[in-house]
Amino acid sequence: MSLITATDLHRGYSVGKKRIEVLRGIDLTIQKGEKIFLCGPSGAGKTTLMYTLAGLERPEQGAVHIDGMNLYKLSKRQQAKLRNARMSYIFQNYYLMPELTALENVMIPAMIGGKGDESAAKSTLDRVGLSHRYDHLPAELSGGEQQRVAIARALVNKPEIIFADEPTGNLDSKNGEQVMKLLLELTSEDHTTLVVVTHDLSLAKFGDRTLIVKDGNISSNETATN
């Protein structure tokens, strides 16, 4: 069953008198539960595409449907409600609140969503292997541990879709592979749809499908062989 459908997406930027066309008519369908990797060269538009699918960047032309709902035709309030209820985000720089402990960071979406509580946050930290780090501040955690906290924060409300922008970009290759495998394992257990931007093709092979973004379009649509 398709969950995310993009039709004829166009997005460009004007800087001074110069105009860059980043997305040039992208069509794309993502199935419920699918693990999709968006790869391609630097500046190709991977992040722009992901943000457009995620409700964070309005396309200039074209439409994104989430579960049949025309995302950018919804009011701002409805869009926010849809994002809070059904989507989570993971970023390269973790974006943890520095003055809050690991546990408190994971409790933030649980409090906003009204679905979770301290025990949900604790059990999600346990799932990412951080049961011994509840009370640590982000500065007292390694990069890999900080990204595990961010993964727990993304998982705690049981979203239907997780969008991850270069989630291993700040980690060395060994830690990066561990974190990516953990993210795939946990989202598989929860049947969560996962959309990951990465420039690292060696990690993309762990997903269901790799889309290569190039020259404003998707130049290949490979199904993983492993």
Ligand X SMILES: Nc1ncnc2c1ncn2[C@@H]1O[C@H](COP(=O)(O)OP(=O)(O)OP(=O)(O)O)[C@@H](O)[C@H]1O
> In the complex, which residues of this chain contact ligand X (CB under 6 A)?
13, 15, 20, 22, 40, 42-48, 199
CB closer to ligand X, 64 vs 156: 64
Which residue is it, tokens 């290569």?
A: 212
- Minimal distance, residue 10 CB to ligand X, in Å: 13
- Minimal distance, residue 210 CB to ligand X, in Å: 14
CB closer to ligand X, 5 vs 47: 47
CB closer to ligand X, 96 vs 196: 196
Measured CA to CA, the distance from residue 113 to residue 60 in angstroms comes to 30
CB closer to ligand X, 3 vs 22: 22
- Minimal distance, residue 59 CB to ligand X, in Å: 13
CB closer to ligand X, 42 vs 223: 42
- Minimal distance, residue 166 CB to ligand X, in Å: 7
- Minimal distance, residue 32 CB to ligand X, in Å: 25
